[in-house]
Amino acid sequence: MMVRNEKEFYFPNPRTTVPREKKIQRVLEMIPGILTWTTILGMFIFSFLVPVWVSVFIIAFDIYWIFRTVFIASYSVAGYRKLRDGKNIDWWERCQNISHPEDFILKISSRIKEMEEALTEKMTRGQKKKIKHEIKKEKKYLTEVQQLAKIKDKIIDWREIVHVVMFPTAGEPASVIEPAIQAVADSNFPNQQFIILLATEEREEKSKRLKKVEYLQNKFKGVFRDFIVTTHLVKDDEMKAKGSNATFAAKYLKKYLEEKKVDFKKVIFSNFDCDSVAHLQYFASLTYKYITNPKRLQRSYQPLPMYHNNLWDTNAFVRVIVTGSSFWHIFQSTRTEGMVTFSSHSEPFDTLVKVNFWPVNMISEDSIIYWKCFSYYNGDYKVEPIYLPISLDAVLANSYWKTIVNQYRQKRRWAYGIENFPVILRAIFPNKKIKLREKLKVTFEMLEGHHSWATAPLILAVLGWLPLIFGGEQFNQSVLAHN
């Protein structure tokens, strides 16, 4: 697929000063809010005017959500099974062998033969069932390797890959960041192929920042290929947000890699929250997915966020919330056509360079980078799930009530992702290479997702009672009201 030249690529500025673009931006910004308030206020108004029809709507809406809940639950189970299988795969073995697929085919075939011979021996039914399951998995993977053998010239040797793992920090102590870096060091991928990029902020108290940096550099001295530290000073046209810090650090890295003459196409850039503890096999799995995909530059890679780091330290209310979030991410991973990047994820550095990194004046940096890449590649860009967990911190504060308040603020911050809506539409609708059907799908999914997030809980829990309150005596005595 043809893509734009890097110098020609344009992505809309949400703070544009061009009069026409500013008007379009403002109109698009209003749409989600208008829909939300129309729904909420409409429930009040129509509950008074036509309570019968509102009741019918509420019943239909409840039934819809019953079916949707069953749908989400079933796909969550499927996602969990993929997660379980992902943990049981030896991704490091696959990385080491896939560069020579013909030899790997012989190795897998030999392994299958040994297991089939083992079935002839005396054993329990449970042992036989386990071996048969392993044979089934190996045969399925053998088919995959046979397909990869046809494109072996497009497979990159894992030894050529460089991983850059960035940890942006604006005040988090070393005690939060250290376990995240240690998880990288403890992974089963060679440490000398890792560069750690610690992206600090100038606005953090200097003494604390320097002390933190010194401790982490000393702690991991000589462990990785390199340990780079950047310090970002917020400019007048930038927001105090992760995106501006990440862009500053990534641009510094670009110069560093150019000086070292490292091929950007062989650099995988992982943008991690500083509390992200990656699974032991994450980077091996990520490497395997990257080196075997001919369209590797048109993919982002997303592990499954789980809030396990301090789950039992926070209160029960938050535990329920974050467990629900984990299940939601498992569910989303099964719908790859609708996935976008979230929180901690990985991208080809070459693609990041082409799209000029993250916007520096937006809050939601994790999802907007996906949409920049989507726009650059004219819609031919996807998120590939990595079925391995990445563990994050759950919200925890000094008191029970403050923890709940901070949890609400975190959810509210996630909801800021709707700021992407006007920018995305301004980016994709003028692009004639993106199909109209795809544009409409993106528009609907963004609006429906955030609209449901803002209104569905209220309708299900509170607003459904409005016809009984405002419907009047005649309605309250009807069969519909009693049911």
Could you tell me if 324 and 240 lie in one domain?
yes
Give the pLDDT mean for 354-380.
Answer: 94
The answer to whether residue 1 sits within a structural domain is no
Q: pLDDT (tens digit, 9 = 90+) per residue, 272-283?
A: 999 999 999 999
Count of domains forming the chain: 2
Give the pLDDT mean for 250-271.
Answer: 98
Give the pLDDT mean for 90-100.
Answer: 97
Three-class secondary structure assignment of the chain: CCCCCHHHCCCCCCCCCCHHHHHHHHHHHHHHHHHHHHHHHHHHHHHHHCHHHHHHHHHHHHHHHHHHHHHHHHHHHHHHHHHHHHHHCCHHHHHHHCCCHHHHHHHHHHHHHHHHHHCCCCCCHHHHHHHHHHHHHHHHHHHHHHHHHCCHHHCCCHHHCEEEEEEECCCCCHHHHHHHHHHHHCCCCCHHHEEEEEEEECCCCHHHHHHHHHHHHHHCCCCCCEEEEEEECCCCCCCCCHHHHHHHHHHHHHHHHHHCCCCHHHEEEEECCCCCEECCCHHHHHHHHHHHCCCHHHEEEEEEEECCCCCCCCCHHHHHHHHHHHHHHHHHHCCHHHCCCCCCEEEEHHHHHHCCCCCCCCCCHHHHHHHHHHHHCCCCCEEEEEEEEEECCCCCCCCHHHHHHHHHHHHHHHHHHHHHHHHHHHHHCCCCCCCHHHHHHHHHHHHHHHHHHHHHHHHHHCHHHHHHHHCHHHHHCCHHHHC
Q: pLDDT (tens digit, 9 = 90+) per residue, 313-340?
A: 999 999 999 999 999 999 999 988 889 9
% pLDDT > 70, the chain: 98
The answer to whether residue 468 sits within a structural domain is no
Give the pLDDT mean for 157-165.
Answer: 98
The confidence band for 39, taking pLDDT boundaries of 50, 70 and 90, is very high
Could you tell me if 244 and 144 lie in one domain?
no
Could you tell me if 197 and 144 lie in one domain?
no
**Higher pLDDT residue, 260 or 471?**
260
Could you tell me if 231 and 314 lie in one domain?
yes
The answer to whether residue 143 sits within a structural domain is yes
Could you tell me if 117 and 192 lie in one domain?
no
The confidence band for 5, taking pLDDT boundaries of 50, 70 and 90, is low
Least confident of 147-151, 360-364, 385-389: 360-364
Least confident of 102-106, 125-129, 390-394, 438-442: 125-129
The confidence band for 467, taking pLDDT boundaries of 50, 70 and 90, is confident
- Check pLDDT > 80 for residue 4: no
The confidence band for 469, taking pLDDT boundaries of 50, 70 and 90, is confident
Q: pLDDT (tens digit, 9 = 90+) per residue, 49-76?
A: 999 999 999 999 999 999 999 999 999 9
The answer to whether residue 320 sits within a structural domain is yes
Question: How confident is the model at residue 2, as a pLDDT?
Answer: 46
Question: How confident is the model at residue 1, as a pLDDT?
Answer: 47
- Check pLDDT > 80 for residue 482: no
Could you tell me if 217 and 257 lie in one domain?
yes
Could you tell me if 360 and 325 lie in one domain?
yes
Give the pLDDT mean for 157-172.
Answer: 96
The pLDDT mean for the chain works out to: 93
Question: How confident is the model at residue 483, as a pLDDT?
Answer: 66
The confidence band for 413, taking pLDDT boundaries of 50, 70 and 90, is confident
Could you tell me if 217 and 126 lie in one domain?
no
Could you tell me if 387 and 402 lie in one domain?
yes
Residue numbers of the domain that contains 120: 100-154
The confidence band for 417, taking pLDDT boundaries of 50, 70 and 90, is confident
CATH number of the domain where residue 347 is located: 3.90.550.10
The answer to whether residue 75 sits within a structural domain is no
The answer to whether residue 48 sits within a structural domain is no
- Check pLDDT > 80 for residue 175: yes
Could you tell me if 200 and 288 lie in one domain?
yes
The confidence band for 100, taking pLDDT boundaries of 50, 70 and 90, is very high
Give the pLDDT mean for 158-164.
Answer: 98
Give the pLDDT mean for 221-250.
Answer: 95
**Higher pLDDT residue, 175 or 2?**
175
Residue at which a domain ends, from 115, 139, 154? 154
Could you tell me if 121 and 248 lie in one domain?
no
The confidence band for 7, taking pLDDT boundaries of 50, 70 and 90, is low
Q: pLDDT (tens digit, 9 = 90+) per residue, 116-145?
A: 999 888 888 888 999 999 999 999 999 999
The confidence band for 200, taking pLDDT boundaries of 50, 70 and 90, is very high
The answer to whether residue 51 sits within a structural domain is no
- Check pLDDT > 60 for residue 3: no
Question: How confident is the model at residue 473, as a pLDDT?
Answer: 80
Could you tell me if 350 and 309 lie in one domain?
yes
The answer to whether residue 17 sits within a structural domain is no
- Check pLDDT > 60 for residue 250: yes
The pTM (predicted TM-score) of the whole model is 0.93
